[in-house]
Amino acid sequence: MSVMNETENSVASREIVITRVFDAPRELVFEAWTDPKHVAQWWGPQGFTSTVHEMDVRPGGVWTLTMRGPDGTDYPSRIAFSEVVRPERLVYWHGDDNDPQQFHVTITFEEEGDKTTLTMRSLFPTAAARDFVVEKFGAIEGGKQTLGRLAEHLTTMGEFVFTRVLDAPRALVFQAWTEEKHLLHWWGPKGFTVQHCTNDPRPGGLMHYGLRGADGAMMWGRWEYREVTPPERLTFVSSFSNEQAEVVPPPFPGWPTKIVSTITFTEQDGKTMLVMRGIPIEATDAERATFESGRSSMKNGWGGTLDELAAYLATQE
């Protein structure tokens, strides 16, 4: 047997791998995994409850919690993060105060269209240690139940979805969303005019725009791109900004500072079905509640914006 095969077999005998596909965008799944307000709602197998004592999600940060089983037994845990790549990857040591490095965990979040494939790999120091937690604590079944509870919780997280079929080919619609020469003519709700627009549609790039309302007041905003897949998909974090493209608090009291949005463009008999999904990130409970209460105004705002886009596309054919 080769050295490589020996190494592979050694890892396989010490590892637990659990994978699940979630019907939710990657940013949302990552948020549910890293925000203590959400983690406390789903962490642990069926019948368990969890209390999060602290959760500092950054390299060197620590997450401590206590799971309580159906029989009242407490299971304290201490998790030390070594790698955090939002929204793609988490790496940490899982243990407790007596043994802080019981096993090593790597979690990856992979985009699959509007879905997310999550893979959790737990690597133990020995095969015996791995077999012990499987046999005594039902680690594999417990992990699957935990991810099942996460799937249920994701359905409660309040994603905003808006759909419109546009009478134009997908390539043109995508260009209208990403090229400055088009955006200058239609971007923004009805009654606003574009005074400034620069766009760098690539991961890490920014769109920065300034809109003038009917009352003459300027409103500035920015998108920070996470994914750009022409002509199919855009993912970005939207925020209000100043004239220098720096993130600023929203002008509306209680509104979330950051909203992650995913727009998909699908061919449909020569037309384009556009689906936009948005969810607050790094938001307080009050901000999420404000977002929920603002669905009607968001629907009206996006409806007016896409009316502007539809009218502009009709001039491009």
Q: Give me the pLDDT at residue 7, please.
A: 55
pTM of the predicted model as reported, rounded to 2 decimal places: 0.61
Task: Write out pLDDT tens, residues 173-208.
Answer: 999 999 999 999 999 988 899 999 999 999 999 999
| pLDDT, position 199 | 97
pLDDT > 90 fraction of the chain, expressed in percent and rounded: 70
Calculate ∠ Cα 247-28-201, nearest 5°. Answer: 50
77-106 confidence digits (pLDDT tens):
999 999 999 889 999 999 998 898 999 999
Mean pLDDT of 33-43: 91
DSSP H or E segment with residue 100: none
Residue 298: both structure tokens together: 């968001």
* For residue 4, pLDDT beyond 80: no
Residues ≥6 apart with Cβ < 8 Å to 99: none
In this structure, what token pair is assigned to residue 253?
A: 């009291």
With cut-offs at 50, 70 and 90, classify the pLDDT of residue 210: very high
Across 39-62, average pLDDT: 95
pLDDT band at 6 (very low <50, low <70, confident <90, very high): very low
pLDDT at 142: 94
Highest mean pLDDT out of 20-29, 132-141, 152-161: 132-141
Look at residue 247 and tell me whether its pLDDT is greater than 90. Answer: yes
3 pLDDT tier (thresholds 50, 70, 90): very low
pLDDT-wise least confident of 2-16, 48-62, 79-93, 114-128: 2-16
Determine the average pLDDT of the residues in 284-299.
88
Domains and CATH numbers, the chain: 3-154 (3.30.530.20), 160-314 (3.30.530.20)
H or E stretch covering 288? helix 285-293
Q: Quick one: pLDDT at residue 9?
A: 59
CA distance 112 to 278: 17
- Which token pair is 132? 């012990």
Residues in contact with 146: Cβ distance below 8 Å, sequence separation at least 6, in sequence order = 42, 43, 44, 45
Alpha-carbon distance 242 to 157, whole Å?
A: 29
Question: What rounded mean pLDDT belongs to the chain?
Answer: 91
Residue 110 has pLDDT above 70, yes or no: yes
Would the pLDDT of 1 be above 50? no
Q: Which one has a higher pLDDT value, 242 or 189?
A: 242
Residue 24's pLDDT is: 84
